[in-house]
Amino acid sequence: MQLERHENALLKQENDKLRSENQSIREAMRNPVCGGCGSPAMLGELSLEEHHLRVENARLKDELSRVCALAAKGVKFIRFSKQLSEGVWAVVDVSADGLMRDQGITSASATANMNCRRLPSGCVLQDTPNGLCKVTWVEHTEYDEASVHQLYRSLLRSGLAFGAGRWITTLQRQCECLAILMSSIALPEYDSPAIHPEGKRSMLKLARRMTDNFCAGVSASSAREWSKLDGLTGNIGEDVHIMARKSVDEPGMPPGVVLSAATSVWMPVMPDQLFNFLRNEALRAEWDILSNGGPMQEVTSIAKGQQDGNCVSLLKASPTNANQNSMLILQETCADTSGLMVVYAPVDIPAMHLVMSGGDSACVALLPSGFAILPAGPSIGADHKTGGSLLTVAFQILVNSQPTAKLTVESVETVNNLISCTINKIKTALHCDV
């Protein structure tokens, strides 16, 4: 309740500020001032175009201030799109911090504390005679290396993290998936034939939402309002990032208090080996408590592209006793040269039957967990570890079905123990002497 009162007070202050600015803008419109001498302007001196420009500038400043009032994570940027000529388009982004400072929305000192800026970057898209598209990407990013964890500094220096190649490979993978979503043609032969085409599209949309929510939970995206916990972390190490959020009448989310816990570790195995181990349903019992101690069975699988490893699967865990129902797990795996992901979530059996028959996937509640795998650079951290993989493990757990429930240290430590136990099981299974 104390947190809610604090949030309400902040919202009231913001509303009062916006109301005051609105009133100022109205007064300025009623009493125009000459920009040259500062004296009252006659109606003829203020052109209709200038009036519209002032109103538009005020609106844009207000919108920008709203955007900048969100969480400070990530890079806020402005996007400009333009058709350059027949069959040629450009999409260019640039960080908004300079504009924020110039408009007085944030101070110069606050802007100086931003750890990452996207300088003018983007792509040129050009139609080709064979019906395809040629993409040229240019990426300029500036970051403060002192703010980057030791594990990731080599990755950033290599250009894999912010480089143009990462954008291109991700775009290519997404285009292949989009082609499947829009196509009525039969998918590759290793797909399961039992699902109707509309059901495949519905499953792909559900998996995309699951992975988006997973990434938002790891990165504390402004799309999801996560609160960092203070005073409830107990004996949890500083490398474990724990947040909480309350879900109330939110489509696609179970109601209650949700904890998100994430951490990253170095693993002395190659990314492909780690990825293939984690996505293999037959080996899942070696690390996943949802497997009930036995191998999972693949109910169906949908390819998302030409590369092996890009697919959406529905897995079934074997019940531990005759009175227990089988559990379904929705899993999405993504692979390209920039990185790999394995994301999964338990799903309701009747709801999945509806989705597989082509029904609306928005009704399926999801709490995704999973792994992100990146190639490690030539030298990692103070120990100068070489090669291997950077593994990020993240869980979202419903700790209480009542949104008004209080969080406890025990709940936080349970999620933290789940992460530690999972990492140790993976290391043991892969014979990692770390």
Is 70 exceeded by the pLDDT of residue 304?
yes
Comparing CA positions, the residue from 66, 91, 96 lying closest to residue 80 is 91
- Report the length, in residues, of the chain: 434
pLDDT at 340: 94
Tokens linked to 356:
């597989």
**41-to-37, 48, 70, 92 alpha-carbon distances in Å:** 9, 13, 38, 39
Of 97-106, 149-158, 236-245, give the range with the top mean pLDDT: 149-158
Q: pLDDT tier at 87 (50, 70, 90 boundaries)?
A: very high
Task: Decide: residue 99, CB within 10 A, 0-12 exposed, 13-18 middle, 19+ buried.
Answer: middle
pLDDT value for 430 = 94
pLDDT of residue 151: 84
CA–CA separation, 222 and 395 (whole Å) = 18
What lies within 8 Å, CB to CB, of 159 at 6+ separation is 165
User: How sure is the predictor about 161, in pLDDT bands with cuts at 50, 70 and 90?
Assistant: confident
Q: Name the percent of the chain in helix, strand, coil, to the closest 5.
A: 40, 25, 35
Residue 103: strand, helix, or coil = coil
pLDDT tens across 98-113, in order? 666 666 666 555 555 5
Share of the chain above pLDDT 70, in %: 67
Are 175 and 304 in contact by the 8 Å Cβ rule? The answer is no
Residue ranges per structural domain of the chain = 77-182, 197-429
What pLDDT is attached to residue 382? 56
For residue 213, the one-letter residue type is: N
What pLDDT, on a 0 to 100 scale, did the predictor assign at position 342? 97
CA 185 to the chain's CA centroid: 30
User: Lowest-confidence range among 214-218, 382-386, 391-395?
Assistant: 382-386
Are 307 and 336 contacting, i.e. CB atoms less than 8 angstroms apart? yes
Most confident segment among 132-141, 305-314, 371-380? 132-141
Which of residues 119 and 381 earns the better pLDDT score?
119
Q: At 44, is the pLDDT very low, low, confident or very high (cuts 50, 70, 90)?
A: very low
pLDDT at residue number 122: 94
| Under 8 Å between Cβ of 259 and 412 | yes
Alpha carbon distance 35, 142 (integer Å): 37
Mean pLDDT over the full length of the chain:
77
Any residues with CB less than 8 A from the CB of 359 and at least 6 apart, and which? 202
Q: Which amino acid is at 253?
A: M
- In the prediction, which pLDDT does 109 show? 52
Higher-scoring residue by pLDDT: 69, 73 = 73
CATH topology of domain 197-429: Alpha-D-Glucose-1,6-Bisphosphate; Chain A, domain 4 (3.30.530)
Q: Residue 15: what pLDDT?
A: 61
- Return the pLDDT at 429: 94
Q: Are strands 256-267 and 241-247 parallel, antiparallel or unpaired?
A: antiparallel
Please answer whether residues 396 and 369 qualify as being in contact, where contact means their C-beta atoms are separated by less than 8 angstroms: yes
Whether the CB-CB separation of 396 and 374 falls below 8 Å is answered with: no
pLDDT of residue 197: 81
State the Cα–Cα distance between residues 147 and 419, nearest whole angstrom.
Answer: 24
d(CA 355, CA 363): 9
- Note whether 415 and 269 are within 8 A (CB): no
Q: What is the pLDDT of residue 25?
A: 47
What pLDDT digit, counting tens, does each position of 174-219 carry?
A: 888 888 777 665 444 454 556 778 888 899 999 999 999 898 888 7
Q: Which residue has the higher pLDDT, 156 or 222?
A: 156
Rg over CA atoms, the chain: 25
Q: What does the alpha-carbon distance between residue 343 and residue 203 come to, in Å, rounded to a whole number?
A: 14
How deeply is 265 buried, as exposed, middle or buried, from its count of CB atoms within 10 A (0-12, 13-18, 19+)? middle
Cα–chain-centroid distance for residue 90? 25
Q: pLDDT tier at 391 (50, 70, 90 boundaries)?
A: very high
pLDDT interval class at 1 (50, 70, 90): very low
d(CA 41, CA 34): 5
Contact 341, 211 (CB under 8 A): yes
